[in-house]
């Protein structure tokens, strides 16, 4: 029996119970033929070819039998790549790297999906092959530019789909169709064999029913490819288990008059706080100003650069709005481009200062959703509205995951996005899985609840032993707090340590090991920091303090404050007090 929601673990279980990949393929082709929106696909793999792949499947592979579709700006050997422009079409001889990797992992390709032409748009209406519609109301846009890919997953026509994302094309369609959209770090999934929109910013995106599924696809697709100049090796940035989330202040909450969307965003913020996550407002101004530059300035010239040889000869072949956008780039000079690059760099400093205060952002994916008619009436203005909370992400080299966040009374879906630093995909997926479940919007047109979760990885941490002014409540403790450190325990050193009051004004503590001395140990605390925070902390440490190995009463050994020997000359031995806090208290009583 086919699961209600085409999740990867559920399909694996169905295969184990007797469903065959070939039977699944046949069922999905029946669904595709019955689905009323005929603009979802540009080209389908012949049913018999897909069934043949399914019948020969090696079921030990990680994505064995998983049906998927790809956006039609991604090469598939022997199938036309159109980028939604018939005159541009060509037939590649080899798969795009990402397609080859997914097929090698056992995934079964069903077809190539529609898109905004040359991936230029966030709405899904700019294609001569038709405008895919939201699975919840055919009057409304599907979102773009990865329109058909998102609809295929939301409609239950595929387990997952590939899109691309430059300005939000892997996220806005997820919000319009109640699914998860993962936009990974730039270069994590190679773009070899992908028709570029803005080559320096493009990402291959993943649509799925859950964060866990999106990560399963990412794990099969990611990895360095020397053929892609922007490819990067796999790295991991682990965020705290309990995150600090940056949210929009009231002054920055622009929902284009959509009161229902505003209420759903506030509900998502409240739910995040109810999970025990720290929610704090950020200044969105630098992000908004960066977002405006992606389409509103010389950056659009990169879109012209991507297709210029074809555009110079076939400008009439372009969809009118796409032609207006790409052709408009000709009015910018190289000097204009550098001017905008400098603007983004200046804004980057302000944006990164806001990001440094939090672990991730929780933003609306899109402010509202438009009807197809509204979109066609104001194609450029409404498209800019859709990108208000997405356009900045790739310019800042961030990761983003869009997730379902509820429904308006009209039955139309709303989504939010979690946004974090490059290579934080696993941590953001953990947050996404938890919040997705808590918000209860389900996935896809059936609104079924995903059964597979993705566990938040434990952050890599360094333990730091402190014995003086960095203890809880002491004058320098804020330095640890500001770096996101957490208190692990209050304990004591091994017996062979002494504590000194250094001859400074005011006195500073100095912890030193004294082999052969047998005391009661010195009161200390153990704090946990990320490796990055530990590096910052050590770099700022003034002499004569240093970091050495400190043995604790329980036999464990961790990095900790130790005083250089030369500074102990003239220092007062205060070991008898048992710790710095007790020593300071004794001095207060004397005073």
Catalytic residue numbers?
A: 71, 145, 169
What's the rounded Cα separation, in Å, for the pair 133 and 361? 29
d(Cα 182, Cα 164) in Å, to the nearest integer? 10
In angstroms, how far is CA 385 from the centroid of its own chain? 21
Detail the DSSP E strand segments found in 132-179: 133-134, 137-141, 160-165
CA distance 89 to 68: 22
Widest CA span of the chain, in angstroms?
Answer: 91
Q: CA 577: distance to chain centroid?
A: 50
C-alpha to C-alpha distance for 542 and 416, rounded to whole angstroms: 44
Contact 396, 449 (CB under 8 A): no
Could you list the beta-strand ranges (E) of 227-381: 244-248, 278-282, 360-364
Dihedral, 143, 144, 150, 154 alpha carbons, nearest 10 = 10
Is residue 540 packed enough to be buried (19+ CB in 10 Å), middle (13-18) or exposed (0-12)? exposed
DSSP 93-117: SS--HHHHHHHHTT-EEEEEE--SG
Angle at 283 between CA 381 and CA 145, to 5 degrees: 35
In this structure, the chain runs to a length of 591
Give the angle 238-239-243 at the CA atoms, nearest 5°: 165
Q: Are 190 and 227 in contact (CB under 8 A)?
A: yes
The owner of tokens 């630098």 is 286
Cα 268-389-422 angle, rounded to 5 deg: 90
Taking the CB of residue 55, how many other CB atoms lie within 10 A of it? 11
SS3 sequence of 526-569: EEEECHHHHHHHHHCCCCCEEEEEEEECCCCEEEEEEECHHHHC
- Residue 393 tokens read as 């992400």
Q: To which H or E segment does residue 185 belong?
A: none
């Amino acid at each position: 029996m086919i699961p209600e929601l085409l999740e990867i673990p559920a399909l694996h279980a169905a295969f184990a119970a007797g469903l065959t990949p070939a039977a699944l393929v046949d069922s999905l082709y029946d669904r595709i033929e019955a689905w009323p929106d005929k603009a979802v696909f540009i080209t389908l793999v012949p049913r018999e070819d897909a069934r043949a792949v399914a019948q020969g499947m090696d079921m030990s592979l990680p994505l064995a039998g998983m049906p998927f579709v790809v956006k039609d700006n991604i090469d598939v050997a022997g199938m036309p790549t159109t980028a939604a422009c018939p005159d541009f079409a060509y037939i590649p001889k080899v798969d795009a790297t990402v397609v080859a990797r997914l097929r090698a992992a056992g995934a079964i390709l069903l077809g190539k999906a529609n898109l905004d032409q040359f991936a230029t748009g966030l709405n899904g209406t700019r294609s001569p092959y038709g405008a895919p519609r939201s699975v919840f109301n055919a009057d409304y846009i599907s979102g773009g530019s990865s329109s058909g890919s998102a609809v295929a997953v939301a409609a239950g026509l595929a387990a997952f789909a590939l899109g691309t994302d430059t300005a939000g094309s892997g996220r806005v369609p997820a919000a319009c169709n109640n699914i998860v959209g993962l936009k990974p770090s730039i270069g994590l999934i190679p773009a070899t064999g992908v028709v570029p929109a803005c080559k320096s910013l493009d990402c291959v995106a993943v649509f799925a029913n859950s964060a866990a599924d999106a990560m399963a696809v990412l794990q099969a697709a990611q990895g360095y490819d020397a053929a892609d100049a922007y490819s990067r090796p796999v790295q991991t940035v682990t965020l705290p288990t309990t995150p600090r989330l940056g949210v929009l202040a009231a002054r920055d909450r622009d929902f284009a008059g959509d009161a229902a969307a505003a209420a759903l965003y506030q509900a998502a913020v409240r739910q995040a706080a109810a999970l025990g996550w720290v929610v704090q407002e950020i200044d969105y101004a630098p992000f908004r100003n960066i977002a405006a530059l992606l389409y509103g300035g010389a950056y659009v010239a990169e879109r012209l650069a991507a297709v210029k040889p074809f555009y110079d000869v076939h400008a009439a072949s372009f969809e009118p709005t796409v032609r207006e956008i790409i052709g408009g780039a000709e009015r910018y000079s190289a000097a204009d481009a550098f001017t905008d690059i400098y603007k983004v760099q200046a804004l980057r400093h302000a944006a990164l200062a806001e990001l440094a205060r939090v672990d991730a952002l929780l933003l609306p994916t899109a402010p509202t959703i438009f009807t197809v008619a509204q979109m066609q009436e104001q194609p450029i203005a409404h498209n800019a509205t859709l990108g208000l909370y997405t356009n900045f992400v790739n310019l800042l080299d961030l990761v983003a995951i869009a997730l379902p966040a509820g429904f308006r009374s009209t039955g139309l879906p709303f989504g939010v996005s979690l946004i974090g630093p490059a290579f934080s995909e696993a941590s953001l997926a953990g947050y996404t899985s938890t919040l997705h479940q808590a918000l209860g919007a389900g996935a896809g047109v059936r609104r079924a609840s995903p059964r597979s979760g993705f566990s938040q990885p434990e952050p890599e941490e360094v333990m730091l032993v402190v014995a003086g002014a960095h203890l809880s409540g002491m004058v320098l403790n804020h330095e640890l707090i500001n770096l996101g450190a957490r208190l692990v325990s209050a304990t004591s050193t091994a017996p062979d340590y002494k504590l000194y009051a250094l001859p400074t004004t005011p006195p500073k503590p100095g912890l030193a090991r004294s082999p052969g001395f047998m005391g009661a140990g010195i009161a200390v605390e153990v704090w946990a920091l990320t490796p990055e925070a530990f590096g910052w902390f050590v770099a700022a440490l003034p002499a004569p303090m240093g970091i050495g190995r400190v043995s604790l009463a329980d036999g464990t050994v961790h990095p900790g404050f130790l005083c250089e020997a030369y500074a102990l000359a003239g220092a007062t031995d205060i070991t008898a007090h048992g710790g710095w806090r007790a020593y300071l208290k004794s001095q207060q009583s004397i005073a």
